[in-house]
Structure 1
Amino acid sequence: MLYEIKLSIDYDYAAPSDHIRNLVRLLPSDIPGRQRVLSRLLTVDPMPDERREAIDFFGNPTTSVAWHAPIDAVSFQLAAKVERRTAAPSGDLSALLDRLPAEIAAQQSLAPEVPHHFLGASPRVAPMTEITAFARKQLAAGMTAQQAVVAVGRALNRTMTFDAEATTVDTSAREAFAQRRGVCQDFTHIMIAALRGLGIPAGYVSGFLRTFPPPGKPRLEGADAMHAWVRAWVGFEAGWIEFDPTNDQFAGDDYVTIAVGRDYSDVAPVRGVMRTAGGHETRQAVDVIPLEKI
């Protein structure tokens, strides 16, 4: 499926801010066999005094921008065309869950894609006894790693309530799990903690999900939003699979990947530092427009 993607993220500051420096992860990139980028353009307004493109450890494109003079607003605009080729797994080639530790140990590399980076604690996801206990209750004897991933994701979907008012970007997985409410970031962090507690390497995917208007209703401009879901390493033969606990489904061709990492701290769309007085307001709008099947 071919998509046209439009994204705008706007910041308005209560007072002019100087010495602003941001690290931006908003550019989609090619993923062999799964995603192909036909075009992409990130526009920043006002034009920064410094701009540098780079690739981070996990292979995500980054854009570093900085302003030397005071500014009172910043706008990031993405325009891209992306072909998504991913389909839900047609079979289960994953390792038996009790064999997975041996297959992880056999990966004698520290390259970005190997599972070792996604098994221990990360900045936003630490071991949590209560989440691990929840995950263990979803297991059955003889399960494969993929079956365990699906079981945990579906259990979270049944247990958690999507509530955009319940959490903020800084809410921890433990807090969101305790109240059983949150948004896609919370669902994803909780599932990552659950899978790691079972010994399944798991990470965070940031990107876009095509949404569908109600029957008979026109598609709304800006109605889509940035989304998050889970990637899990389920053995040498199957490798990485992706599951969306917020929507209880594998991430297929309705999903467009922007960045991958251990948790949100590795993939935050915009992060940085500034010197200012007062607060700021943020607005975001996303359009994921299907163009054609190719």
Structure 2
Amino acid sequence: MRYDVRLTIDYSYDAVSDRARNVLRLLPSDIPGQQRVQQRMLKVTPRPGERYDRVDFFGNATSAVAWHQPIQAFSLHLTAQVERIAVAMPLDLSPPLAGLAADIANVHTLLPTAPHHFMAASPRVAPMAATTEYARGCLTPGMTALQAVEAVGRALHRDMTFDPEATTVDTPPAEAFRNRHGVCQDFAHVMIAALRGIGVPAGYVSGFLRTFPPPGQPRLEGADAMHAWVRAWVGQETGWIEFDPTNDQFAGIDYITVGYGRDYGDVAPVRGVLRSSGGQESRQAVDVIPLEAVPEVRR
């Protein structure tokens, strides 16, 4: 399935800012067997005095930009054409959850895809007794690692409420879980904490999700948004799988990946510093436009 992706993010400040610097993770990349990027471009306005494009440790395309002149606003505009490859859900060859630790111990590498990076606390996801207890309550005897991931994800979808007014980008996962309200970032962080608590390596995925308009209504331009979901390592045979607790489904052809990390901090779309005073405003618009006709079927 091929998509045109367009993203615009505008920032404006009450006062002129000086020495602004940002790290951007907005460009999708090729993922063997899952995603092919046919073209991509990230335009930054006004043009920064410095721009350095590289690939970070986890394989994410990263752009570092800086302005040496004062600015009071800047815009980011992404255009990309991405092919999402349809992949059938693999057979469940994952070990029983109790045996997953042995599979992890048999991975003798620290490459970015190694499960060891995704087991312990990360800057935004600390161990939480409450989520560990919750995850244990989702398990049944003899459950495989893959079944455990699915059970935890589906339970969180059932028990948490999507509420864009309940949290901010800095809300701790413990607070979102305690209130059972949040957005996709919160669902992902809570699920990551829950899985790590029962011994399943888990990380954060940032990207785009094709959305469906209400029946009989046209899709709205700019109505889509960046999305977040979870990847979990379920053994040497199956490897990494991806589950979206916000929408209660495994990630499929409607999902376009931008970045992988331990939590949001590793894949934040825009992260930086500036010197200014007063407040700021930001606006975001995303379009994920399919270039092929597919049945409007929700999984």
- CA–CA distance in structure 2, aligned partners of residues 216 and 138 of structure 1: 38
Q: Secondary structure at the match of 1:271?
A: strand
Q: How many residue pairs are counted as aligned between the two chains?
A: 294
1:265, 1:215 → 2: CA distance? Answer: 36
1:90 & 1:54 partners in 2: Cα distance? 32
Paired position in structure 2 for 1:70: 70
Match of residue 201 from structure 1: 201
Give how far 1:293 is off.
6.5
3-state SS of 1:175 partner: helix
> Relative to structure 2, which stretch is displaced further, 79-88 or 42-51?
79-88
1:218-262 superposed Cα distances (whole Å, 9 cap, x missing partner)? 110001000000000000010000000000000000000000000
1:25 is matched with 25
Matches within 5 A, 1:5-44: 5-44=5-44
CA contact (8 A) 1:29 1:61 kept: yes
Q: Secondary structure at the match of 1:48?
A: coil
Note if 1:96 corresponds to 2:96: yes
Which residue of structure 1 aligns with residue 79 of structure 2?
79
Q: Is 1:276 the counterpart of 2:276 in the alignment?
A: yes
CA distance in 1, matches of 2:88, 2:153: 15
Q: Distance in 2 between matches of 1:183 and 1:102?
A: 34
* Paired residue type of 1:246: T
Q: Secondary structure at the match of 1:230?
A: strand
Taking the aligned partners of 2:266 and 2:223, their CA distance within structure 1 comes to 26
The C-alpha deviation readout for 1:187-244, integer Å capped at 9, x for no partner, is: 0000000000010000000000000111111110001000000000000010000000
Residue in 1 that maps onto 2:60: 60
Matching residue of 1:249: 249
The one-letter code matched in structure 2 to 1:100 is L
Equivalent in the alignment of 1:119: 119
- Deviation of 1:90 after TM superposition, in Å, equals 4.3
Answer yes or no: is the 8 Å Cα contact 2:90–2:238 preserved in 1.
no
* Counterpart in the other structure of 2:235: 235
**Aligned residue type for 2:97:** L
User: What amino acid sits opposite 1:161 in the alignment?
Assistant: T
Q: CA deviation at 1:91?
A: 2.3
> 1:88/1:252 Cα in 2 relative to 1: closer, same or farther (>3 Å)?
farther
**Corresponding letter in the other structure for 1:268:** A
Give, as a single letter, the amino acid of the residue that structure 2 aligns with 1:186.
Answer: D
Q: How much does 1:88 deviate?
A: 5.1
Alignment of 1:73-222 (within 5 A): 73-87=73-87, 89-222=89-222
Distance 1:87 1:140 in 2: 28
C-alpha displacement of 1:81: 0.2
Aligned to 2:297: none
User: C-alpha distance in 2, partners of 1:44/1:28?
Assistant: 16
Any gaps of 5 or more consecutive residues in structure 1? none
Asked if structure 2 preserves the Cα contact closer than 8 Å seen for 1:88 and 1:251, the reply is no
Deviations 1:23-71 (A, max 9, x none): 0000000000000000000000000000000110000010000001110
Asked if structure 2 preserves the Cα contact closer than 8 Å seen for 1:2 and 1:83, the reply is: yes
Per-residue deviation, residues 95-118 of structure 1 (Å, max 9, x unmatched): 211110000000011100000000
Contact 1:2/1:293 (CA < 8 Å) preserved in 2? no
Separation of aligned partners in 2, 1:236 and 1:90: 13
Alpha-carbon distance between aligned partners in 2 of 1:88 and 1:116, rounded to the nearest angstrom? 26
| Rounded Cα–Cα distance in structure 2 between residues aligned with 1:91 and 1:28 | 28
**Displacement of 1:93:** 1.8
Alpha-carbon contact 1:88-1:250 (below 8 Å) kept: no
Measured in 1, the distance between the counterparts of 2:123 and 2:12 equals: 28
The whole-number CA distance in structure 2 between the counterparts of 1:144 and 1:240 is 14
Deviation at 1:142, TM superposition (A): 0.5
Q: Note the residue ranges of structure 2 that are not aligned, 5 or more in a row.
A: 295-299
1:247 is paired with a residue whose SS is coil
